[in-house]
């Protein structure tokens, strides 16, 4: 297999896709109501029955799921299958309370691999590629998702995991890696280490970067591309939903195609919870359509973006989300002014001689907020 490309879904006519989404939505709602106590209770409280979902528009009647619901169900209470059907467990670090635990059935793992492979095929990964995966292997979903996807494509996978930058560079050069998978900030660390060691990035075989798991700016993309001489691509996912593979960029770079055959996206007003029309900025909410282990209804991602349904130049009919503008929950308000960390990064990158590593210190002196940026 040289590429994983599913035209029957990726090029699906909108009407057919909506039929498929409706069927899958109804199935998942029935299964959640029957198998997950949390949803049964929520539905009963709201006087809802699964058969009240008669169209995709009825989605707005359904309750939201938030990260705290997953924390409160620690560890397994939101699983929709018995534990013996689960073949993989991942989990968040739990720095802000109980960790969130996610479980995959055999089918979930197959779908996940395929989704990652589709996303990687979209940016041009093929079986001739040598893929260096410098994401941390472990409870984190990023490394395993792309690892499985790359194997499905038939590429050569080097699971270097994260850290030991000197060895990463050695492997990249000697093993002839053609694609690098890591966070954009770690790509910058590699760039700097190469500069220090006097390694010319041009001498490597690297041609592609698949970066994700943290928001980054176009400015940073330009910097990585010009310094590593690669095409840098962004992808989007979150472990609660499945991990990487939820959405990814195509060569047109006009947003991320969301795998709508598996995930039903909406944009809502984060304050009121009301659904917003396509093109408007708001919080991304995702309903999983095929997940067996941990199906989620209207999961609030806290990521702020826009949804676009116009056909893309690449031919795919799947809707696109814009690159994540910000989180609905890490905005700082300094003396009445909204400040996003990405804005600070943008300013720093425009100053000659600075690097995009910085810390923000927010203090309060009397009634005045004070924000310091340490570079």
Partner 1 sequence: MLKIQSISTYYDNLRVLSGVSLHVREGEAVALIGANGAGKTTLMKSITGLLPPRRGKLLFMDKNIAGTSANRIVRKGIALVPEGRKLFAALTVLDNLMLGAYHRFSADKSEIDDDLEKIYEMLPRLAERKKQYAGTLSGGEQQMVAIGRALMSKPKLLLLDEPSMGLAPTIVEEIYSVLRRLRAEGLTLLVVEQNVRQAFNLASRAYVLETGRIVVQGPVEDLKENSEVKRAYLGKGYKEVWE
Q: Could you list the residues that contact partner 1 (CB under 8 A)?
A: 16, 19-20, 22-24, 26-27, 30-31, 34, 50-51, 53-55, 81-82, 85, 105-107, 110, 290, 292
Nearer to partner 1, 31 or 219 (CB): 31
Residue 118: CB minimum distance to partner 1, A: 15
* Residue whose C-alpha is closest to residue 25's, from 261, 233, 350: 261
- Measuring CA to CA, which residue among 320, 316, 319 is closest to residue 12? 316
Rounded to a whole number of angstroms, the minimum distance from the CB of residue 262 to partner 1 is 11
Cβ at position 255, least distance to partner 1 in Å: 28
Residue with tokens 């209804």: 297
Residue closer to partner 1 by CB (options 212, 245) is: 245
Measured from the CB of residue 85, what is the shortest distance to partner 1 in angstroms?
5
Dihedral sign for Cα 102, 118, 151, 189, please: negative
Question: Shortest approach of partner 1 to residue 299 CB, angstroms?
Answer: 21
What is the closest distance, in whole angstroms, from the C-beta atom of residue 143 to partner 1 in the complex? 24
Taking the least distance from each CB to partner 1, the nearer of 20 and 348 is 20
Cis peptide, bond prior to residue 109, ω within 30 of zero: no
What distances in angstroms separate CA 141 from CA 103, 225, 291, 332, one per listed residue?
Answer: 11, 25, 15, 28
Tokens of 174: 């000697």
Nearer to partner 1, 21 or 177 (CB): 21
- Sequence-distant (6+) residues with CB within 8 A of 244 are 116, 119, 141, 142, 145, 146, 149, 212, 213, 235, 236, 237
* 58 or 151: CB nearest partner 1: 58
Of 81 and 344, the one with the shorter C-beta distance to partner 1 is 81
CB of 263 to partner 1, least distance (A): 15
Give the chain's length.
375
Of the two residues 32 and 241, which places its CB atom closer to partner 1 in the complex? 32
CA–CA distances in Å: residue 204 to residues 128, 315, 321: 16, 33, 33
For residue 139, the minimal CB distance to partner 1 (Å) is: 25
Toward partner 1, which CB reaches closer, 8 or 365? 8
Beta-bridged to residue 158, according to DSSP, are: 132
Sign, CA dihedral 33-38-44-47, equals negative
- Where b means 16+ CB within 10 Å and e means fewer, 226-261 reads ebbebbbbbbbbbbbbbbbbbbbbbeebebbbbbbb
CB of 54 to partner 1, least distance (A): 4
The residue to which tokens 């995009």 are assigned: 356
For partner 1, give the closer residue by CB, 85 or 151.
Answer: 85
Shortest Cβ distance from residue 147 to partner 1 (Å)? 21
Q: What share of the chain is helix, strand, coil (3-state, %, to 5)?
A: 35, 25, 40
Strand partners, 202: none
Please choose, from the candidates 135, 140, 188, 185, the residue with its C-alpha nearest in 3D space to the C-alpha of residue 163: 135
In this complex, which beta carbon is closest to partner 1, that of residue 111 or of residue 326? Answer: 111
């Amino acid at each position: 297999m040289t590429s994983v490309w599913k035209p029957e879904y990726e090029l699906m006519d909108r009407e057919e896709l909506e039929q498929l989404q409706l069927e899958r939505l109804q199935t998942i709602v029935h299964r959640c109501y029957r198998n997950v106590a949390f949803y049964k209770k929520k539905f009963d409280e709201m006087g809802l029955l699964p058969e009240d979902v008669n169209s995709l528009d009825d989605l707005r009647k359904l309750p939201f799921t938030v990260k705290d619901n997953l924390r409160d169900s620690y560890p397994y209470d939101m699983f929709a299958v018995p534990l013996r059907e689960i073949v993989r467990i991942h989990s968040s670090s739990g720095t802000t309370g109980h960790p969130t635990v996610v479980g995959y059935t055999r089918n979930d793992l197959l779908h996940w691999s395929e989704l990652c492979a589709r996303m990687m095929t979209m940016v041009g990964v093929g079986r001739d590629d040598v893929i260096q995966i410098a994401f941390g292997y472990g409870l984190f979903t990023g490394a395993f998702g792309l690892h499985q996807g790359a194997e499905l494509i038939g590429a050569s996978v080097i699971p270097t995991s994260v850290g030991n930058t000197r060895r990463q560079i050695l492997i990249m050069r000697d093993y002839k890696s053609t694609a690098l998978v890591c966070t954009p900030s770690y790509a910058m660390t590699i760039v700097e280490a190469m500069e220090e060691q006097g390694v010319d990035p041009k001498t490597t075989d690297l041609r592609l970067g698949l970066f994700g798991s943290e928001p980054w700016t176009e400015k940073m993309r330009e910097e990585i591309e010009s310094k590593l001489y690669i095409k840098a691509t962004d992808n989007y996912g979150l472990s609660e939903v499945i991990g990487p593979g939820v959405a990814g960029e195509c060569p047109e770079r006009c947003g991320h195609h969301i795998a709508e055959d598996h995930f039903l996206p909406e944009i809502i007003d984060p304050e009121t919870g009301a659904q917003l029309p396509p093109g408007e900025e708001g919080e991304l909410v995702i309903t999983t359509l095929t997940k067996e282990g941990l199906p989620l209804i209207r999961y609030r991602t806290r990521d702020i973006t826009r949804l676009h349904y116009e056909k893309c130049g690449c031919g795919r009919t799947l809707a696109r989300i814009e690159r994540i503008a910000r989180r609905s929950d890490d905005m700082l308000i300094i003396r009445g002014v909204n400040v996003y960390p990405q804005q600070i990064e943008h300013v720093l990158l425009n100053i000659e001689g600075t690097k995009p590593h910085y810390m923000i210190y927010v203090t309060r002196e009397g009634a005045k907020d004070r924000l310091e940026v340490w570079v």
